[in-house]
Amino acid sequence: MDRKQGFFSALRDEIIRGLSPANDGGGSPMLAFLRRRPKQLTNGEALRSSSLAPLYEGFDEDGSDPGELKRAGSGVGRWVKGQLCRAPSSLGSKARADLRILLGVMGAPLAPVHVSVADPWPHLSIKDTPIETSSAQYILQQYTAASGCHKLIKNAYAMGKVKMVASEFETASKVVKTKTAMGAAATGGFVLWQMNPDMWYVELTVGGSKVQAGCNGNLVWRHTPWLGARTAKGPVRPLRRTLQGLDPRTTARMFTDAKCVGEKKVNGEDCFILKLCADPQTLKTRSEGPAEIIRHVLFGYFSQKTGLIVHMEDSHLTRIQTAGNNAVYWETTISSSMDDYKPVEGVMIAHSGHSVVTLFRFGEMAMSHTKTRMEEAWSIEEVAFNVPGLSIDCFIPPADLKAASFTELPEDERGKSGFSVGGHGAKVAALV
Protein backbone atom coordinates (compact mmCIF):
# COMPACT_ATOMS: atom_id res chain seq x y z
CA MET A 1 0.00 0.00 0.00
CA ASP A 2 2.84 2.39 0.85
CA ARG A 3 4.37 1.79 -2.59
CA LYS A 4 1.07 2.53 -4.34
CA GLN A 5 0.45 5.68 -2.32
CA GLY A 6 3.99 6.80 -3.01
CA PHE A 7 3.61 6.21 -6.74
CA PHE A 8 0.37 8.15 -7.14
CA SER A 9 1.51 10.86 -4.72
CA ALA A 10 4.57 11.31 -6.87
CA LEU A 11 2.41 11.31 -10.01
CA ARG A 12 0.09 13.93 -8.59
CA ASP A 13 3.00 16.15 -7.64
CA GLU A 14 4.48 15.69 -11.11
CA ILE A 15 1.22 16.85 -12.71
CA ILE A 16 0.82 19.80 -10.35
CA ARG A 17 4.40 20.90 -11.05
CA GLY A 18 3.51 21.02 -14.74
CA LEU A 19 4.82 17.68 -15.95
CA SER A 20 8.15 19.35 -16.62
CA PRO A 21 10.54 17.17 -18.62
CA ALA A 22 13.23 15.23 -16.83
CA ASN A 23 16.71 14.79 -18.30
CA ASP A 24 15.41 12.69 -21.15
CA GLY A 25 16.45 14.85 -24.07
CA GLY A 26 13.10 16.67 -24.32
CA GLY A 27 10.94 13.55 -24.61
CA SER A 28 7.57 12.95 -22.98
CA PRO A 29 7.67 14.08 -19.33
CA MET A 30 5.14 11.46 -18.21
CA LEU A 31 7.09 8.66 -19.82
CA ALA A 32 10.29 10.02 -18.34
CA PHE A 33 8.62 9.84 -14.94
CA LEU A 34 7.44 6.28 -15.49
CA ARG A 35 10.84 5.15 -16.74
CA ARG A 36 12.55 6.01 -13.48
CA ARG A 37 13.81 3.12 -11.43
CA PRO A 38 11.15 1.38 -9.29
CA LYS A 39 12.69 2.58 -6.02
CA GLN A 40 12.35 6.16 -7.25
CA LEU A 41 8.70 5.66 -8.11
CA THR A 42 7.89 5.36 -4.43
CA ASN A 43 9.97 8.34 -3.36
CA GLY A 44 7.55 11.26 -3.45
CA GLU A 45 9.84 13.48 -1.40
CA ALA A 46 12.62 13.12 -3.96
CA LEU A 47 10.24 14.32 -6.65
CA ARG A 48 9.06 17.27 -4.61
CA SER A 49 12.60 18.38 -3.89
CA SER A 50 13.76 18.15 -7.50
CA SER A 51 14.24 21.29 -9.54
CA LEU A 52 11.76 21.37 -12.42
CA ALA A 53 11.90 23.88 -15.23
CA PRO A 54 8.88 26.21 -15.61
CA LEU A 55 6.48 25.74 -18.48
CA TYR A 56 5.44 28.48 -20.87
CA GLU A 57 3.22 26.56 -23.22
CA GLY A 58 -0.25 25.15 -22.69
CA PHE A 59 -3.89 26.06 -23.01
CA ASP A 60 -5.47 29.44 -22.55
CA GLU A 61 -7.60 30.12 -19.51
CA ASP A 62 -10.74 29.28 -21.47
CA GLY A 63 -9.37 25.86 -22.36
CA SER A 64 -8.59 26.64 -25.98
CA ASP A 65 -5.42 25.39 -27.61
CA PRO A 66 -3.33 28.37 -28.80
CA GLY A 67 -1.50 26.27 -31.34
CA GLU A 68 1.06 23.56 -31.57
CA LEU A 69 2.78 22.78 -28.26
CA LYS A 70 6.35 23.99 -27.93
CA ARG A 71 7.41 20.90 -26.00
CA ALA A 72 5.92 17.45 -26.58
CA GLY A 73 3.45 16.47 -23.87
CA SER A 74 4.21 19.26 -21.42
CA GLY A 75 1.42 21.56 -22.62
CA VAL A 76 -1.13 19.03 -21.49
CA GLY A 77 0.59 18.88 -18.11
CA ARG A 78 0.25 22.63 -17.64
CA TRP A 79 -3.38 22.48 -18.68
CA VAL A 80 -4.16 19.55 -16.35
CA LYS A 81 -2.41 21.49 -13.59
CA GLY A 82 -4.89 24.30 -14.10
CA GLN A 83 -7.80 21.90 -13.87
CA LEU A 84 -6.47 20.36 -10.65
CA CYS A 85 -5.89 23.74 -9.06
CA ARG A 86 -9.30 25.11 -10.00
CA ALA A 87 -11.52 24.92 -6.92
CA PRO A 88 -14.90 23.24 -7.42
CA SER A 89 -16.44 25.83 -5.10
CA SER A 90 -15.88 28.46 -7.79
CA LEU A 91 -18.63 26.85 -9.83
CA GLY A 92 -22.26 27.77 -9.38
CA SER A 93 -24.78 25.25 -8.07
CA LYS A 94 -26.08 24.56 -11.57
CA ALA A 95 -22.56 24.02 -12.92
CA ARG A 96 -21.68 21.72 -10.02
CA ALA A 97 -24.85 19.68 -10.60
CA ASP A 98 -24.11 19.37 -14.30
CA LEU A 99 -20.49 18.42 -13.63
CA ARG A 100 -21.52 15.81 -11.09
CA ILE A 101 -23.85 14.01 -13.48
CA LEU A 102 -21.27 14.25 -16.28
CA LEU A 103 -18.57 12.65 -14.16
CA GLY A 104 -20.97 10.11 -12.67
CA VAL A 105 -22.17 8.84 -16.03
CA MET A 106 -19.15 9.37 -18.30
CA GLY A 107 -16.27 9.27 -15.83
CA ALA A 108 -15.55 5.55 -15.73
CA PRO A 109 -18.34 3.35 -17.18
CA LEU A 110 -17.60 -0.36 -17.54
CA ALA A 111 -18.04 -2.79 -20.44
CA PRO A 112 -21.02 -5.19 -20.36
CA VAL A 113 -19.20 -8.47 -19.68
CA HIS A 114 -16.01 -9.90 -18.24
CA VAL A 115 -13.11 -10.57 -20.60
CA SER A 116 -9.53 -11.48 -19.85
CA VAL A 117 -6.24 -11.39 -21.72
CA ALA A 118 -6.09 -15.11 -20.95
CA ASP A 119 -9.23 -15.75 -23.01
CA PRO A 120 -8.58 -17.59 -26.29
CA TRP A 121 -8.60 -15.73 -29.56
CA PRO A 122 -11.69 -16.37 -31.68
CA HIS A 123 -11.14 -19.23 -34.12
CA LEU A 124 -12.78 -18.96 -37.50
CA SER A 125 -15.07 -21.94 -37.89
CA ILE A 126 -17.70 -22.36 -40.59
CA LYS A 127 -18.77 -25.98 -40.14
CA ASP A 128 -21.85 -26.41 -37.94
CA THR A 129 -21.73 -22.72 -37.01
CA PRO A 130 -24.65 -20.28 -37.53
CA ILE A 131 -23.96 -17.73 -40.24
CA GLU A 132 -24.31 -14.85 -37.74
CA THR A 133 -21.57 -16.31 -35.56
CA SER A 134 -19.19 -17.34 -38.32
CA SER A 135 -19.55 -13.93 -39.96
CA ALA A 136 -18.71 -12.23 -36.67
CA GLN A 137 -15.61 -14.41 -36.29
CA TYR A 138 -14.49 -13.51 -39.80
CA ILE A 139 -14.96 -9.78 -39.06
CA LEU A 140 -12.92 -10.16 -35.88
CA GLN A 141 -10.15 -11.88 -37.82
CA GLN A 142 -9.99 -8.85 -40.11
CA TYR A 143 -10.00 -6.52 -37.10
CA THR A 144 -7.15 -8.28 -35.31
CA ALA A 145 -5.05 -8.16 -38.48
CA ALA A 146 -5.81 -4.49 -39.14
CA SER A 147 -5.34 -3.29 -35.55
CA GLY A 148 -2.08 -5.09 -34.83
CA CYS A 149 -3.39 -6.38 -31.52
CA HIS A 150 -1.34 -9.60 -31.75
CA LYS A 151 1.67 -7.56 -30.63
CA LEU A 152 2.96 -8.72 -27.24
CA ILE A 153 1.95 -6.03 -24.74
CA LYS A 154 2.64 -6.31 -21.01
CA ASN A 155 1.38 -2.88 -20.01
CA ALA A 156 0.14 0.32 -21.59
CA TYR A 157 -0.17 4.01 -20.80
CA ALA A 158 -2.29 6.77 -22.35
CA MET A 159 -2.92 10.42 -21.60
CA GLY A 160 -5.55 12.63 -23.18
CA LYS A 161 -7.86 15.63 -22.99
CA VAL A 162 -11.65 15.67 -22.61
CA LYS A 163 -14.53 18.10 -22.94
CA MET A 164 -17.89 17.30 -21.33
CA VAL A 165 -21.23 19.10 -21.47
CA ALA A 166 -24.87 18.43 -20.60
CA SER A 167 -26.28 19.58 -23.93
CA GLU A 168 -30.02 18.95 -23.62
CA PHE A 169 -32.63 18.37 -20.93
CA GLU A 170 -36.15 17.18 -21.64
CA THR A 171 -39.34 16.75 -19.61
CA ALA A 172 -42.84 15.87 -20.75
CA SER A 173 -43.63 19.56 -21.22
CA LYS A 174 -40.44 21.14 -22.60
CA VAL A 175 -36.97 20.66 -24.04
CA VAL A 176 -34.09 22.91 -23.00
CA LYS A 177 -30.90 22.92 -25.07
CA THR A 178 -27.53 24.24 -23.96
CA LYS A 179 -26.42 27.12 -26.14
CA THR A 180 -22.99 26.83 -27.78
CA ALA A 181 -22.89 23.12 -26.80
CA MET A 182 -19.26 21.93 -26.72
CA GLY A 183 -18.04 25.52 -26.65
CA ALA A 184 -19.34 25.81 -23.08
CA ALA A 185 -18.07 22.39 -22.05
CA ALA A 186 -16.13 21.58 -18.90
CA THR A 187 -12.57 20.72 -19.87
CA GLY A 188 -10.19 18.26 -18.29
CA GLY A 189 -7.77 15.43 -18.83
CA PHE A 190 -7.22 11.79 -17.99
CA VAL A 191 -4.38 9.36 -17.47
CA LEU A 192 -4.82 5.61 -17.97
CA TRP A 193 -2.58 2.66 -17.09
CA GLN A 194 -3.12 -1.00 -17.93
CA MET A 195 -1.18 -4.14 -17.04
CA ASN A 196 -1.67 -7.83 -17.68
CA PRO A 197 -3.54 -9.68 -16.42
CA ASP A 198 -6.70 -7.53 -16.33
CA MET A 199 -5.40 -4.62 -14.26
CA TRP A 200 -6.14 -0.99 -15.02
CA TYR A 201 -6.30 2.42 -13.36
CA VAL A 202 -7.77 5.68 -14.67
CA GLU A 203 -7.77 9.17 -13.22
CA LEU A 204 -10.06 11.79 -14.80
CA THR A 205 -10.03 15.45 -13.73
CA VAL A 206 -12.64 17.86 -15.08
CA GLY A 207 -13.54 21.30 -13.77
CA GLY A 208 -11.63 20.81 -10.53
CA SER A 209 -13.31 17.48 -9.67
CA LYS A 210 -11.60 14.12 -9.96
CA VAL A 211 -12.90 10.60 -10.53
CA GLN A 212 -10.62 7.61 -10.02
CA ALA A 213 -11.32 3.99 -10.88
CA GLY A 214 -9.24 0.86 -11.00
CA CYS A 215 -9.06 -2.91 -11.13
CA ASN A 216 -6.44 -5.17 -9.55
CA GLY A 217 -7.62 -8.21 -11.53
CA ASN A 218 -9.98 -9.38 -8.79
CA LEU A 219 -12.24 -6.41 -8.07
CA VAL A 220 -13.22 -3.12 -9.64
CA TRP A 221 -13.50 0.04 -7.55
CA ARG A 222 -14.30 3.67 -8.14
CA HIS A 223 -13.80 6.85 -6.11
CA THR A 224 -15.93 9.97 -6.55
CA PRO A 225 -15.76 13.16 -4.44
CA TRP A 226 -19.38 12.73 -3.33
CA LEU A 227 -19.39 9.01 -2.40
CA GLY A 228 -15.79 8.10 -1.72
CA ALA A 229 -14.37 4.72 -2.78
CA ARG A 230 -16.69 1.80 -3.51
CA THR A 231 -16.46 -1.59 -5.19
CA ALA A 232 -18.39 -2.75 -8.24
CA LYS A 233 -20.84 -5.63 -8.11
CA GLY A 234 -20.61 -8.56 -10.46
CA PRO A 235 -17.64 -9.89 -12.41
CA VAL A 236 -14.52 -7.87 -13.17
CA ARG A 237 -15.12 -5.90 -16.35
CA PRO A 238 -12.90 -3.72 -18.54
CA LEU A 239 -13.11 0.06 -18.59
CA ARG A 240 -15.33 1.15 -21.47
CA ARG A 241 -12.91 3.94 -22.39
CA THR A 242 -10.30 1.36 -23.39
CA LEU A 243 -12.70 -0.04 -26.01
CA GLN A 244 -12.87 3.35 -27.70
CA GLY A 245 -9.90 2.62 -29.95
CA LEU A 246 -7.30 2.41 -27.16
CA ASP A 247 -7.07 -1.34 -26.51
CA PRO A 248 -7.60 -3.51 -29.64
CA ARG A 249 -6.75 -6.72 -27.77
CA THR A 250 -9.51 -6.29 -25.18
CA THR A 251 -11.90 -5.07 -27.87
CA ALA A 252 -11.37 -8.23 -29.95
CA ARG A 253 -11.95 -10.44 -26.93
CA MET A 254 -15.04 -8.44 -25.96
CA PHE A 255 -16.72 -9.37 -29.26
CA THR A 256 -15.59 -13.01 -29.31
CA ASP A 257 -19.13 -14.29 -28.65
CA ALA A 258 -20.89 -11.57 -30.64
CA LYS A 259 -23.16 -12.08 -33.64
CA CYS A 260 -23.22 -10.21 -36.92
CA VAL A 261 -26.61 -8.48 -37.18
CA GLY A 262 -26.23 -6.52 -40.39
CA GLU A 263 -24.55 -3.60 -42.11
CA LYS A 264 -24.90 0.16 -41.80
CA LYS A 265 -23.24 3.31 -43.10
CA VAL A 266 -21.75 5.33 -40.22
CA ASN A 267 -20.22 8.75 -40.88
CA GLY A 268 -19.89 7.86 -44.54
CA GLU A 269 -18.29 4.45 -43.93
CA ASP A 270 -19.89 1.10 -44.67
CA CYS A 271 -19.69 -0.99 -41.51
CA PHE A 272 -20.47 -4.48 -40.28
CA ILE A 273 -22.44 -4.54 -37.00
CA LEU A 274 -21.56 -6.99 -34.22
CA LYS A 275 -23.95 -7.38 -31.29
CA LEU A 276 -23.06 -8.58 -27.80
CA CYS A 277 -25.54 -9.11 -24.93
CA ALA A 278 -24.73 -9.63 -21.26
CA ASP A 279 -26.10 -13.00 -20.17
CA PRO A 280 -28.85 -13.24 -17.49
CA GLN A 281 -26.47 -14.61 -14.86
CA THR A 282 -24.10 -11.65 -15.27
CA LEU A 283 -27.01 -9.21 -15.05
CA LYS A 284 -28.23 -10.93 -11.88
CA THR A 285 -24.86 -10.62 -10.15
CA ARG A 286 -24.72 -6.93 -11.06
CA SER A 287 -28.21 -6.23 -9.65
CA GLU A 288 -28.61 -5.03 -6.09
CA GLY A 289 -31.55 -4.66 -3.69
CA PRO A 290 -34.63 -3.20 -5.37
CA ALA A 291 -32.66 -2.46 -8.54
CA GLU A 292 -32.64 -5.08 -11.28
CA ILE A 293 -30.52 -4.67 -14.40
CA ILE A 294 -32.71 -5.97 -17.20
CA ARG A 295 -30.32 -5.74 -20.13
CA HIS A 296 -26.94 -4.48 -21.24
CA VAL A 297 -26.27 -4.64 -24.98
CA LEU A 298 -23.18 -3.56 -26.92
CA PHE A 299 -22.97 -2.91 -30.67
CA GLY A 300 -19.65 -2.59 -32.47
CA TYR A 301 -19.42 -1.04 -35.95
CA PHE A 302 -16.40 -2.30 -37.89
CA SER A 303 -15.35 -0.48 -41.06
CA GLN A 304 -15.56 -2.65 -44.18
CA LYS A 305 -12.73 -0.61 -45.69
CA THR A 306 -10.14 -0.61 -42.88
CA GLY A 307 -11.38 -3.42 -40.62
CA LEU A 308 -11.12 -1.13 -37.57
CA ILE A 309 -13.89 -0.36 -35.09
CA VAL A 310 -15.16 3.16 -35.83
CA HIS A 311 -18.36 3.34 -33.79
CA MET A 312 -19.74 1.73 -30.64
CA GLU A 313 -23.14 1.87 -28.96
CA ASP A 314 -24.24 0.33 -25.72
CA SER A 315 -27.28 0.66 -23.50
CA HIS A 316 -28.40 -0.78 -20.22
CA LEU A 317 -31.83 -0.72 -18.63
CA THR A 318 -32.40 -0.82 -14.88
CA ARG A 319 -35.74 -1.42 -13.17
CA ILE A 320 -36.20 -0.14 -9.62
CA GLN A 321 -39.13 -1.44 -7.60
CA THR A 322 -39.58 -0.34 -3.99
CA ALA A 323 -42.38 -1.37 -1.65
CA GLY A 324 -45.52 0.68 -2.12
CA ASN A 325 -44.21 2.51 -5.18
CA ASN A 326 -44.53 2.08 -8.92
CA ALA A 327 -41.55 0.71 -10.80
CA VAL A 328 -39.14 3.28 -12.20
CA TYR A 329 -36.90 2.55 -15.19
CA TRP A 330 -33.56 4.13 -16.04
CA GLU A 331 -32.09 3.61 -19.50
CA THR A 332 -28.56 4.79 -20.26
CA THR A 333 -27.33 4.82 -23.85
CA ILE A 334 -23.77 5.71 -24.88
CA SER A 335 -22.86 6.20 -28.54
CA SER A 336 -19.17 6.72 -29.37
CA SER A 337 -17.35 7.44 -32.62
CA MET A 338 -13.59 6.85 -32.94
CA ASP A 339 -11.45 8.81 -35.38
CA ASP A 340 -7.89 9.66 -36.36
CA TYR A 341 -6.36 6.17 -36.19
CA LYS A 342 -2.56 6.25 -36.08
CA PRO A 343 0.00 3.48 -35.57
CA VAL A 344 1.77 3.45 -32.20
CA GLU A 345 4.54 0.87 -32.00
CA GLY A 346 2.71 -1.21 -34.59
CA VAL A 347 -0.74 -0.95 -32.97
CA MET A 348 -3.53 1.16 -34.50
CA ILE A 349 -4.84 3.62 -31.88
CA ALA A 350 -7.77 6.05 -32.28
CA HIS A 351 -6.46 9.49 -31.28
CA SER A 352 -9.79 11.32 -31.06
CA GLY A 353 -13.46 10.65 -30.65
CA HIS A 354 -16.88 11.83 -29.53
CA SER A 355 -19.56 10.29 -27.31
CA VAL A 356 -23.22 11.13 -26.87
CA VAL A 357 -24.92 9.87 -23.71
CA THR A 358 -28.67 9.77 -23.11
CA LEU A 359 -30.04 9.20 -19.61
CA PHE A 360 -33.77 8.43 -19.73
CA ARG A 361 -36.00 8.02 -16.66
CA PHE A 362 -39.58 6.81 -17.04
CA GLY A 363 -42.26 4.57 -15.59
CA GLU A 364 -44.06 6.33 -12.72
CA MET A 365 -46.54 8.15 -14.91
CA ALA A 366 -46.72 8.72 -18.63
CA MET A 367 -46.07 12.44 -18.22
CA SER A 368 -43.27 12.26 -15.66
CA HIS A 369 -40.33 11.14 -17.80
CA THR A 370 -37.04 13.03 -17.95
CA LYS A 371 -34.27 12.75 -20.50
CA THR A 372 -30.79 14.24 -20.33
CA ARG A 373 -28.39 14.34 -23.26
CA MET A 374 -24.66 14.69 -22.57
CA GLU A 375 -21.63 14.88 -24.83
CA GLU A 376 -17.94 14.16 -24.49
CA ALA A 377 -15.15 14.90 -26.95
CA TRP A 378 -11.66 13.53 -26.33
CA SER A 379 -8.24 13.47 -27.90
CA ILE A 380 -5.21 11.32 -27.11
CA GLU A 381 -1.90 13.08 -26.51
CA GLU A 382 0.42 10.21 -25.61
CA VAL A 383 0.34 6.42 -25.85
CA ALA A 384 3.08 3.94 -24.98
CA PHE A 385 3.39 0.20 -24.46
CA ASN A 386 5.63 -1.92 -22.25
CA VAL A 387 6.62 1.02 -20.06
CA PRO A 388 9.44 0.14 -17.62
CA GLY A 389 8.89 0.78 -13.93
CA LEU A 390 5.16 0.03 -13.77
CA SER A 391 4.38 -2.73 -11.24
CA ILE A 392 1.30 -4.46 -9.83
CA ASP A 393 1.68 -2.36 -6.67
CA CYS A 394 0.31 0.57 -8.69
CA PHE A 395 -3.08 -1.14 -8.95
CA ILE A 396 -3.74 -1.84 -5.26
CA PRO A 397 -7.24 -0.60 -4.24
CA PRO A 398 -7.38 2.42 -1.90
CA ALA A 399 -7.13 1.79 1.84
CA ASP A 400 -10.46 3.54 2.54
CA LEU A 401 -12.43 1.29 0.18
CA LYS A 402 -15.95 0.95 1.58
CA ALA A 403 -17.85 -2.33 1.74
CA ALA A 404 -20.78 -0.66 -0.03
CA SER A 405 -20.86 -1.25 -3.77
CA PHE A 406 -21.55 0.97 -6.72
CA THR A 407 -23.77 -0.17 -9.55
CA GLU A 408 -25.32 1.44 -12.63
CA LEU A 409 -28.07 2.92 -10.46
CA PRO A 410 -29.45 6.45 -10.34
CA GLU A 411 -28.21 7.95 -7.10
CA ASP A 412 -31.48 9.50 -5.92
CA GLU A 413 -33.28 6.17 -6.35
CA ARG A 414 -30.96 4.60 -3.76
CA GLY A 415 -31.81 7.16 -1.11
CA LYS A 416 -28.97 9.51 -1.99
CA SER A 417 -29.46 13.19 -2.56
CA GLY A 418 -30.72 13.84 -6.07
CA PHE A 419 -29.99 17.02 -7.96
CA SER A 420 -31.46 18.94 -10.83
CA VAL A 421 -29.79 19.13 -14.21
CA GLY A 422 -29.78 22.46 -15.98
CA GLY A 423 -31.50 24.07 -12.99
CA HIS A 424 -34.97 22.97 -14.09
CA GLY A 425 -35.95 21.06 -10.96
CA ALA A 426 -36.15 17.59 -12.44
CA LYS A 427 -34.32 14.91 -10.47
CA VAL A 428 -31.75 13.27 -12.67
CA ALA A 429 -28.87 11.68 -10.82
CA ALA A 430 -25.51 10.34 -11.81
CA LEU A 431 -24.92 6.66 -12.28
CA VAL A 432 -22.42 5.45 -9.73
Whether 231 is covered by a domain: the verdict is yes
Say yes or no: 300 and 363 in one domain. yes
Whether 169 is covered by a domain: the verdict is yes
Whether 238 is covered by a domain: the verdict is yes
Closest residue by Cα to residue 117 from 193, 194, 191, 212: 194
What is the predicted pLDDT for the residue at 29? 42
The last residue of one of the domains, among 85, 116, 134, is 85
* 245: amino acid identity, one letter: G
Say yes or no: 212 and 287 in one domain. yes
Say yes or no: 23 and 141 in one domain. no
Instruction: Give, in order, the Cα–Cα distances in Å from 290 to each of 173, 244, 327, 402, 427.
Output: 29, 32, 10, 20, 19
Whether 56 is covered by a domain: the verdict is yes
Whether 428 is covered by a domain: the verdict is no
CA 289 from chain centre, in angstroms, equals 26
76: containing domain: 2-85
β-pair partners for 350: 341
Say yes or no: 114 and 193 in one domain. yes
Series of mean pLDDT values for 10-residue runs along the chain (432 residues): 50 43 41 43 36 32 36 39 43 69 89 86 69 88 92 93 88 70 79 95 93 94 89 93 95 93 95 96 91 95 97 95 87 96 96 95 77 94 94 89 60 38 33 34
Say yes or no: 205 and 161 in one domain. yes
What is the predicted pLDDT for the residue at 190? 97
The beta strands (E) that lie in 135-249 are given as 155-171, 175-177, 186-195, 199-206, 209-216, 220-224, 228-232
What is the predicted pLDDT for the residue at 261? 95
CA 149 from chain centre, in angstroms, equals 20
Angle at 133 between CA 296 and CA 297, to 5 degrees: 10
Say yes or no: 77 and 103 in one domain. no
Closest residue by Cα to residue 428 from 409, 410, 401: 410
Whether 432 is covered by a domain: the verdict is no
Say yes or no: 148 and 15 in one domain. no
Whether 37 is covered by a domain: the verdict is yes
Whether 235 is covered by a domain: the verdict is yes
Angle at 405 between CA 402 and CA 406, to 5 degrees: 120
The last residue of one of the domains, among 17, 52, 85, is 85
Say yes or no: 80 and 215 in one domain. no
Say yes or no: 268 and 372 in one domain. yes
Say yes or no: 76 and 113 in one domain. no
Measured distance CA(355)–CA(239) in Å, rounded: 15
Say yes or no: 272 and 382 in one domain. yes
Number of domains the chain contains: 2
Say yes or no: 348 and 281 in one domain. yes
